[in-house]
Structure 1
Amino acid sequence: MIEGASAWFAVQSPMLQALLAGLFTWTVTALGASVVFFTESVNRRFLDAMMGFAAGVMIAASFWSLLAPSIDMAEAQGIPTWLPATVGFLLGGVFLRLADAILPHLHVGAEMHEAEGMQTSWRRATLLVLAITLHNIPEGLAVGVTFGAAALQMDVATGATLAAAVALAIGIGLQNFPEGIAVSMPLRGEGVTPLKSFWYGQMSGFVEPVSAVLGAFAVVSVRPLLPYALSFAAGAMIFVVVEELIPESQRHGNTDLATMGAMGGFAVMMLLDVALG
């Protein structure tokens, strides 16, 4: 049955594959948010370790699943190998920086006066969801462009294979679990009902299937964009890691624990990509 499902998935269009993968990562976010139905609080040390784990997954995915294939594709296309990786990477960071400056949001654990982006009267819950949503955009794009790359690149040497795309989706899904918790639990602690806390938590992942489909469509429609799109997603993800995940994981003094979580997350994503990809 599993083999049949795998065979069916392999012959679908990259947009459908990206959509299904995005729905998977969204579902895992919802699973994390559902913890709010079973407890009113989560151990801070555990949450910091999981945030570090998420950072490690994203760092590993940025290289193994995105930058390395981008460099290989540039070489196969006969263009300077450093060009797409460097340009796309920096553009991804600039894109997230601009979005960060414009979109009102509040990082987990921050006070209302620390809200970033344009001034607004929106509630804390909305700002928290927007913060996670903002950094879920590059995750969805990363999933989408890898499925698009797998459809366009038949040369396994580039690393752009369907198995590698599936490995990335699994890795992103794993690190989405603590992200769902990170939104729903603080809201529950502030007196928001479990149902509303869950709703806000799972909504933070809604952007992933949308951005995954857009990413796959973009690279399939404009093939020369492929190596740039891969490195763009990598740059956006690294921006999120450095700007949000690492500082948040160490905000409460659990520096060593968060660091070990990041090491574990990197190892898990590297293992997934090398073993499956």
Structure 2
Amino acid sequence: MEHFLQYNPVVLALLATLFTYGLTALGAASVFSFKKISNGILNPMLGFAAGVMIAASFWSLLKPAIEIAEANGTTPWVPAVTGFLLGGVFLYSIDKILPHLHLGLPDNKSEGIKTEWHRNILLVLSVTLHNIPEGLAVGVAFGALANHPEMANLTGAIALAVGIGLQNLPEGAAISIPLRQGGLSRLKAFNYGQLSGIVEPIAGVIGAYLVASMKPILPYALSFAAGAMIFVVVEELIPVSQRNNKTDSSTIGAMLGFALMMVLDVALG
């Protein structure tokens, strides 16, 4: 695996985020097998995704940010807190501007700038919104290799990509199957579902390029991605996963997702 350290980190980030996008598409492809998805299945799937993102935010992003800041001789918590809060502010701003509709809500509950866009577009934009920090997180993790080309950092970035990819499977299904229930053909529902993940390679390449080009921003960038992901978890994934009184299954899913991501990061990183 060490030969991967010879590759351009931006290229590695692109490959990794194409992998996570591919698993989004694979999850969306479940619409060819299923027309409906019950809350008994959807809730733990979304809870699992939330657990993975929470664990990744600490183990793969905040913890390394603190360690890098300490190694650089700066106050460790300053970049972590600053970047974390800026990530939340960034996603909050997009949330208020970009028109979108959370899963399971009626049309009159859409958020962002008011528009006459179709419900299907708003649903896709909702998932696209939280794919931005996921792609950014993976990109920043690989971009860190430009200035810290250690094997542990490579395996940690790979673990993060695997974890994000695994939680993209249920997210892809969570968008395509409801679209199919809404009347779209299976092919159109799949296309919309996979399209929601295409932003990940874009965000990944941008994140990797920035941290590879500007070494001092690395701990801030890692923390920024963590803050953006936590915003998504609290704003959307957890509330959506606990609708219709199915809270136990979503909580169990979140615990399992956190545990899996922790194992991946500690074992590989």
Q: Provide TM-score, normalisation by structure 1.
A: 0.95
Q: Tell me what 2:230 maps to.
A: 238
Distance 2:31 2:150 in 1: 45
Residue identity matched to 2:208 = A
Q: Tell me what 1:147 maps to.
A: 142
Q: Tell me what 2:38 maps to.
A: 43
Compute the displacement of 1:93 (Å).
0.2
1:257 aligns with 2:249: yes
1:212 aligns with 2:212: no
Distance 2:71 2:150 in 1: 9
Following superposition, which runs of at least 4 residues in structure 1 exceed 6 angstroms of deviation?
A: none
Residue identity matched to 1:87 = T
Contact 2:5 2:145 in 1 (8 A): no
1:68 aligns with 2:60: no
Residue identity matched to 1:208 = E
Distance 2:101 2:149 in 1: 42
Compute the displacement of 1:179 (Å).
0.6
Note the 1:52-63 alignment, pairs <5 A.
52-63=47-58
Please list the CA deviations of residues 152-204 of structure 1 after superposition, one character each: whole Å capped at 9, or x if unmatched. Answer: 11467xx6x10000000000000001110111011100111000000000000
Q: Tell me what 1:3 maps to.
A: none
Compute the displacement of 1:39 (Å).
1.5
Q: 1:123 aligns with which of 96, 108, 118?
A: 118
Distance 2:244 2:96 in 1: 25
Identical aligned pairs, as a percentage?
61
Distance 1:44 1:189 in 2: 14
Distance 2:182 2:241 in 1: 20
Q: Tell me what 2:11 maps to.
A: 16
Q: Tell me what 2:217 maps to.
A: 225
Q: Tell me what 1:91 maps to.
A: 86
Compute the displacement of 1:43 (Å).
2.8
Residue identity matched to 1:68 = K
Compute the displacement of 1:253 (Å).
1.2
Compute the displacement of 1:252 (Å).
1.8
Contact 1:102 1:118 in 2 (8 A): yes
Compute the displacement of 1:47 (Å).
1.1
Contact 2:124 2:193 in 1 (8 A): yes
Instruction: Give SS of 2:115's match.
Output: coil
Instruction: Give SS of 1:26's match.
Output: helix
Residue identity matched to 1:216 = A
Q: 1:134 aligns with which of 95, 116, 129?
A: 129
Q: Tell me what 2:101 maps to.
A: 106
Contact 2:5 2:149 in 1 (8 A): no
Instruction: Give SS of 2:237's match.
Output: helix
Distance 1:155 1:129 in 2: 38
Note the 1:168-179 alignment, pairs <5 A.
168-179=160-171
Q: 1:183 aligns with which of 166, 175, 182?
A: 175
Contact 1:151 1:162 in 2 (8 A): no
